[in-house]
Structure 1
């Protein structure tokens, strides 16, 4: 919370049309998300996207903003997001490019957001597909010491499959991994590229989604 207060104080030091303003606001949004101040993050995104200079930002920057908006809209209470926006989010999630070289730091965040979306949709096939893609991505790219938090979180996600998407059993089995995650500090500023929302908070969100109902196979899958 102290970081958010400081961000509010220093906000006036940057001209709204400057690249430094957008760079500062990116950190401001991430501070709000990490403090679970989701409404504040949404308010900040409203200010940012209305800035006349927003659309002339580099493509990579615009894609990052899109990803932040995707997470914010997902964690906001459903009644605070319009039905039209929910449909837009669903379509956007499906169109997110994965394994892009331009978004190497965000690939995990993209796949996790897709996974969350399909958990909410209770779509078993798509949930398992994203978990498999995360597993392969981990094998290929997440081997450095700085990726330990990501590896621990992906192991937690595997627990939900091992426990047949039972929230209570997954929470119990995941206690040791969660403790290890809580004891593992972020590797530095770059971690925000992956952990747009801290993994501890995402794990609670995963369990909450499972309590609402486990993903199920489509009728076509059952018939086959």
Structure 2
């Protein structure tokens, strides 16, 4: 049923109206129409089957209806406008060019050659302009065959034969870049992979692409070559070099005569992550503004970009900027429409901002009811998904709990959590990627163990903090900002500043 659900999300009720006037793909008062409406209303599979056929979703009758609806919705793709007003020129061209390419293939197959050739030539010009080289190659090949064997137009044949030959070489280079990048990602994510060997092979693969990137000004070639180069340097924690690769990609794709939004979004977002690792903030304003311009406001990627920008601001002590980003994102009309895990992470960010508010760092939030009425218990009840994330974001939840309990002098509640947190740390955090979190939690546990006595806590925690500093943030990888929302060193300054030399 997932195939059907995806089709229903694409061919919405509004888009269906225009072609229903033709009696296609189905009438509303039929079984197919009823099935479509139920799927559009997000009904469960079994409920759809019972309502439409009176039988289970495994029955032959329902399977046949489902197959018929899939076929009709796929056929409808060619009759509805799939572009959106928010799409840029290349995104809109994608659907137009693919539709016309398919139509020209059908016309050639039906021997309607005049119509086929006219549409193929028009589509080829568009495909070349927007660098859909795979379609352009196929169109030029069809036109070469037509003018060389059917129409007998030698000049046209030579024109398309030359174009076909050129595009074949470009496509080979593009496929090599795609293969090299895909192989790198596939190998790198394997748990037992030898990172050093993979990086060495990836470097050789990238070097093999350089003659082609110098020769061809290809969208796909430069995208995957750039992603491969960027991946090599980020995997090796060479963020200064990776930042330079981002600049190179941005310069290349900003020069295109159309808006190359996908590679630019990737490059600007990756540059933001590099800035996070390098602790840069002053230079981010211009490229953050441009990065957000490329994103549809209120989209998933828009919120992810804002999320990363906020954490970068926290890591560089730009707390007012972080609060402004928080208000802009959570106040957006589409915030509540985001996936639950997205909303949960913003609630965790809110908790850290609240801690800064208690530390006197957010004067602008003095009248914000989210902070003046913040409650730890309510916060914990609002994050059920990440509370189960044993090695990831749940670490940031445990840390903020301890920080808030200590800031509110709820010492008994902190004592109660010692054993559970110690067992959790040993079981889930003593791994290469989470050692900073492991040692920071060990330092925090010295608070209740030493009765919150400032001198005693600092003396006992020193060894854990020294081990933590032996694993700098840049070694932890780019996903580390999900757990280390505010640098642990800074949090330790705040927490020890709350202590005195009395035993509690």
Tell me the TM-score normalised to structure 1 length.
0.83
Alpha-carbon distance between aligned partners in 1 of 2:332 and 2:368, rounded to the nearest angstrom:
25
Matching of residues 130-209 of structure 1 within 5 Å: 130-186=417-473, 187-209=476-498
Structure-2 change in CA distance of 1:83 and 1:49 (3 Å): closer
Alpha-carbon distance between aligned partners in 1 of 2:298 and 2:495, rounded to the nearest angstrom:
38
Q: Residue 158 of structure 2 aligns with which residue?
A: none
Structure-2 change in CA distance of 1:8 and 1:59 (3 Å): farther
Question: Who wins on radius of gyration, i.e. which is larger?
Answer: 2
- Does the 8 A contact of 2:390 with 2:428 survive in 1? no
SS at 1:17's partner residue?
coil
Q: Residue 210 of structure 1 aligns with which residue?
A: 499
**Quick check: 1:88 aligned with 2:371?**
no
How far residue 17 of structure 1 moved from its aligned partner, in angstroms, is 2.7
Q: Residue 41 of structure 2 aligns with which residue?
A: none
- Does the 8 A contact of 1:131 with 1:157 survive in 2? no
**Quick check: 1:45 aligned with 2:326?**
yes
1:60 aligned to 341, 344, 356, which one?
A: 341
**Superimposed CA distance per residue, residues 187-216 of structure 1 (whole angstroms, 9 cap, x where no aligned partner):** 1111112111111111112111223976x5
Tell me the TM-score normalised to structure 2 length.
0.39
How far residue 33 of structure 1 moved from its aligned partner, in angstroms, is 1.0
- Does the 8 A contact of 2:443 with 2:461 survive in 1? yes
How far residue 107 of structure 1 moved from its aligned partner, in angstroms, is 1.1
2:308 aligned to 16, 19, 27, which one?
A: 27
Alpha-carbon distance between aligned partners in 2 of 1:48 and 1:212, rounded to the nearest angstrom:
41
- Does the 8 A contact of 2:414 with 2:448 survive in 1? no
Alpha-carbon distance between aligned partners in 2 of 1:96 and 1:112, rounded to the nearest angstrom:
16
How far residue 46 of structure 1 moved from its aligned partner, in angstroms, is 0.8
How far residue 120 of structure 1 moved from its aligned partner, in angstroms, is 1.8
**Superimposed CA distance per residue, residues 39-95 of structure 1 (whole angstroms, 9 cap, x where no aligned partner):** 211111011112222111100000000100110111121764448533334443453
Structure-2 change in CA distance of 1:89 and 1:33 (3 Å): farther
Alpha-carbon distance between aligned partners in 1 of 2:343 and 2:492, rounded to the nearest angstrom:
27
Q: Which protein has greater RCO, CA pairs closer than 8 Å, 6+ apart?
A: 1
Structure 1 range deviating more: 20-29 or 163-172: 163-172
Alpha-carbon distance between aligned partners in 2 of 1:150 and 1:29, rounded to the nearest angstrom:
20
Q: Residue 263 of structure 2 aligns with which residue?
A: none
Structure 1 range deviating more: 114-123 or 85-94: 85-94
The structure 1 segments of at least 4 consecutive aligned residues displaced by more than 4 Å after TM superposition are 96-99
Structure-2 change in CA distance of 1:103 and 1:68 (3 Å): farther
- Does the 8 A contact of 1:181 with 1:200 survive in 2? no
Alpha-carbon distance between aligned partners in 2 of 1:192 and 1:140, rounded to the nearest angstrom:
22
Structure 2: unaligned runs, 5 residues or longer: 1-278
- Does the 8 A contact of 1:111 with 1:130 survive in 2? no
Structure 1 range deviating more: 123-132 or 46-55: 123-132
- Does the 8 A contact of 1:115 with 1:131 survive in 2? no
SS at 1:174's partner residue?
helix
Alpha-carbon distance between aligned partners in 2 of 1:43 and 1:213, rounded to the nearest angstrom:
38
RMSD: 2.6
Structure 1 range deviating more: 132-141 or 54-63: 132-141
Alpha-carbon distance between aligned partners in 2 of 1:150 and 1:40, rounded to the nearest angstrom:
26
1:120 aligned to 403, 407, 417, which one?
A: 407
